[in-house]
Amino acid sequence: MSQKYVQTLWTNTQIQLSRLLTSEIFGPKGFDSRQKANDYVRRLFIKYNDIMKKLDEIYQTLIHPQKRLIIRILLDGIVGRLIELKQEMIKFDCCEYTYFEDLALDQNKTLDDLCIEIPRYFAEDRFKSIEQRNHTIRMILDRLEQSKNDLSMKSSFDSLLTLKIYHTNVIPLATVLHVLQAHERARQGRVHAYFMRQMKNELKTKEMMSFNDNNLEDSCLIIQTVWRQKYAEKLFDRKKTENAKLLGMILPRRKLPSENSIASRDKKRRDLQLQHHQEFDEASNYIKQKIRQFEETEVKSRIEHVLIQWLLESRQLYGQFPIYPSDDLNGSATLFKEMTIAEVQEFVNKKPTMNELESSKFIPVINDQMNIYKELFYERDESYNKEQHYDTLLAIDNFRPEVENEIRNDIDNILHNELVYLKLAIDNAEDKQTKKSKKKKKRKNRNKKIKDIVANRTNDSIFEELVETGIILPTKSVYQQDFIGDYQYLTETMRYNEKEPMPSLLDCQQLTGSQNVHLNIPLRKAVLLSGPRGSGKELLVHIACNELGGLLLDLSPANIAKSFNTGKIYFYKQIAHEATFSTD
């Protein structure tokens, strides 16, 4: 699809998302019953899920780097909101599994339309690094397999050679004669079979030569009759189809693209996206340098004037200089941050309600990205940028706040030190934050320090050893659609009869996650997959690793004891070191 059509799809999706956010922000926050709250949250979940699928498709098709960045942040916000709504559904329904059978009937949709699909940008943005990691694992395993085969062949050859040397003078004469007779009889049998085949071929040749010419003419006439009949039928069908197309009764047949053409088209699109992204990254440093070169003096003087004015006014009001904000509080940036009227009213008028929805951390992120889209791309004329390269003017506006923050941090460091000397000179008192409490002398730990075994090792050597020992396993090339199953269709009936429905296979494959989402919600350290043998537990693990680009580690006690029987410290250091660089 063309970039113009994708832009139209993005605009329509933004309108749907704007309506959904408006209805959620101004919608009810508390409910009389858990059932009403759960129904409301489930409807929100379905709408956000539909928008996420559309935005993921748009993100995969767009090649403009700045547009992709906005959609990427927007997708992270929507995925985070989906996880928040999932937690709300668990809270209201008191069940880890959520069923949408009744809502699917109300909205005239199938349960396949409501399923949660893993966004493709999780793994595709790290496509090269994941491919390189999987290639390294395969190379190490192939090398191990080859060394094992060579060792087994060498051992078998040595044993065979030893057996031959041992039995050289032991074979009796009768055995030798028996072997020679068997080989001679086999040779005679092959010669006899060869002569028999020649005789059969000669008989067939004689029969063909004695064939009657009259029978041959009759056979040719029958073949011609059948061929002309089939040809006439085919010609009639072709004429009939052409007349129907001419009258508009049949649409012309559309040639479907082959799998190879689709794969080559996707590869070309990914290469183009990567090329534009690299151009944008290379230009970002140059643009920041130019902003610093032309605007640093003005920005520095403006920020210094505001901060010095704040210091003098604070001394005039309170009789002493204020405590300068630390770096943990974002420095002087906190002085310019104010609460809006809506936030103040919400904070003052907040009342506890029953079955209340918790405030979302991701709605502000989604709202900010929507406002950025409206300001930058909603009615923007891009006739000059048909190839969808990065926009320099937009890049300057995007990087200007980053440069201002860097300049503000430099000014904070300077003013913080100057404020200490000002307090000493004027107030004749030290800054409370500059006082250092005397530390008590600690006794030296007489215990021996544990030697860091992996300190002087490279990441590649640690990775290779973990693969060789069977801790890191290769992931199978399986996807979400390979997990075959069906949904639970009798949830409402079973709950009407006061029975809790058991989840089916497709109810268990709801997987979502992102690195940026994990920064705002608590991580799940463990997930329990239980079920009988052959129910798909291992397949779900491989699907999660393959779709999300994860690293598969076998940390079962039996595998750890088999691979690392010399001590646990070395093993855990290796795992921690490997997990650190594999997630980067």
What is the 3-class SS of 416-431, one letter each residue? HHHHHHHHHHHHCCCC
pLDDT at 325: 66
* Domain assignment present for 520: yes
Sequence-ordered list of residues with C-beta below 8 angstroms from that of 6, at least 6 positions apart, any chain: 58, 61, 62
Give the count of alpha carbons within 13 A of 232, CB side only: 6
* Domain assignment present for 501: yes
> How many domains would you assign to the chain?
2
Measured at the alpha carbon of residue 363, what is the angle toward residues 362 and 368, in degrees to the nearest 5? 100
* Domain assignment present for 462: yes
Residue ranges in 167-258 assigned as alpha helix (H): 173-209, 213-247
pLDDT at 439: 47
Q: Which DSSP helix (H) or strand (E) runs through 553?
A: strand 552-553
Of 467, 459, 450, the closest CA to residue 582 belongs to: 459
Q: Which DSSP helix (H) or strand (E) runs through 480?
A: none
In this structure, the number of other CB atoms found within 10 A of the CB of residue 458 comes to: 10
Is the overall model pTM greater than 0.75, yes or no? no
* Domain assignment present for 504: yes
pLDDT at 363: 83
Q: Return the residue matching tokens 């129907």.
A: 244
Contact by Cβ (8 Å): 421, 427? no
pLDDT at 313: 75
Measured at the alpha carbon of residue 364, what is the angle toward residues 363 and 365, in degrees to the nearest 5? 90
* Domain assignment present for 482: yes
433 token code pair: 């934050």
Beta bridge partners of residue 553, listed in sequence order:
472
d(CA 552, CA 534): 20
* Domain assignment present for 527: yes
Cα 582 from chain centroid?
A: 15
pLDDT at 295: 79
pLDDT at 337: 56
pLDDT at 79: 86
Sequence-ordered list of residues with C-beta below 8 angstroms from that of 141, at least 6 positions apart, any chain: 467, 474
pLDDT, averaged in runs of 10, over the chain (584 residues) = 78 87 81 82 87 87 84 86 84 77 78 77 74 83 80 68 56 81 91 91 77 67 90 92 83 72 80 83 82 79 76 72 63 57 46 63 83 79 76 80 80 75 62 47 53 66 79 81 74 74 70 58 70 80 80 80 60 56 50
Contact by Cβ (8 Å): 323, 431? yes
Distances (CA, A) of 23 to 43, 47, 233: 12, 12, 63
Among 230, 250, 270, give the residue marking a domain's end. 250
Name the DSSP class of 170: T
pLDDT at 446: 53
d(CA 580, CA 564): 20
Amino acid, res. 417: N
Among 250, 265, 298, give the residue marking a domain's end. 250
96 token code pair: 């880890």
Give the count of alpha carbons within 13 A of 542, CB side only: 14
Alpha-carbon dihedral of residues 44, 46, 50, 55, nearest 10 degrees? Answer: 50
Contact by Cβ (8 Å): 362, 368? no
d(CA 291, CA 398): 11
pLDDT at 237: 92
* Domain assignment present for 326: no
Residue ranges in 378-511 assigned as alpha helix (H): 392-422, 459-468, 491-496
Distances (CA, A) of 219 to 222, 233, 477: 5, 22, 56
Residue 235 lies in domain = 219-250
First to last CA, the chain: 33
Of 499, 476, 330, the closest CA to residue 412 belongs to: 330
pLDDT at 433: 46
Residue ranges in 497-567 assigned as alpha helix (H): 515-518, 537-548, 557-563
Give the count of alpha carbons within 13 A of 140, CB side only: 21
Among 250, 269, 302, give the residue marking a domain's end. 250
Q: Which DSSP helix (H) or strand (E) runs through 473?
A: strand 472-473
* Domain assignment present for 521: yes
